């Protein structure tokens, strides 16, 4: 499967404080912000430059399947890779012993999650 690394997603406990830190202290800009009802949360994409790597801040409501106790350093939420052929990528991952653990479809996007050998979520997006 051919991929392109897209961004790193981290889970945050206070979305507004995190946005303030990454914009005011780190000089990043908000590229996109959207609520994801399928995950009961909100994501904010941030970047230092328009064409540079991005950081995704993930915040989940209480009761979300993704709202787990937070431990410092555990905040890596997932790694994201763009794929041209989502169905082919799903088939390849499944054959390799990494079945889909979550799929989210919105009006604009489709994301599929598998786990790497250590259990880290890998997001495939098209």
CATH of the domain at 82: 3.10.180.10
Decide if 77 contacts 65 (C-beta within 8 A): no
> Measured at the alpha carbon of residue 27, what is the angle toward residues 20 and 21, in degrees to the nearest 5?
25
pTM of the model: 0.71
CA distances from 14 to 37, 55, 60 (A): 18, 16, 10
At residue 65, the pLDDT reads 85
Which ranges of the chain have pLDDT less than 70?
A: 72-73
Tell me: the pLDDT tens digits for 42-62? 999 999 877 778 999 999 999
- Domains of the chain: total: 1
Instruction: Pull the structure tokens for residue 63.
Output: 């009761």
83, 126 in Cβ contact below 8 A? yes
The whole-number pLDDT of residue 76 equals 84
* Residue span of the structural domain in which 97 resides: 3-125
In the sheet where 41-47 sits, what is the strand order? 29-36, 41-47, 54-60, 3-11, 76-83, 121-125, 110-115, 102-105
């Amino acid at each position: 499967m051919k991929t392109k690394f897209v961004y790193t997603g981290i889970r945050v406990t206070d979305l507004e404080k995190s946005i303030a830190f990454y914009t005011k202290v780190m000089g990043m800009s908000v590229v996109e912000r959207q609520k994801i009802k399928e995950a009961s949360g909100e994501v904010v994409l941030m970047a230092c430059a328009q064409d540079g790597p991005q950081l995704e801040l993930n915040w989940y409501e209480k009761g979300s399947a993704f709202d787990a106790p937070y431990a410092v350093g555990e905040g890596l939420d997932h790694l994201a890779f763009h794929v041209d052929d989502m169905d082919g990528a799903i088939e390849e991952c499944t054959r390799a012993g990494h079945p889909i653990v979550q799929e989210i479809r919105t009006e604009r996007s489709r994301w599929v999650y598998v786990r790497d050998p250590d259990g880290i979520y890998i997001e495939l997006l098209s």
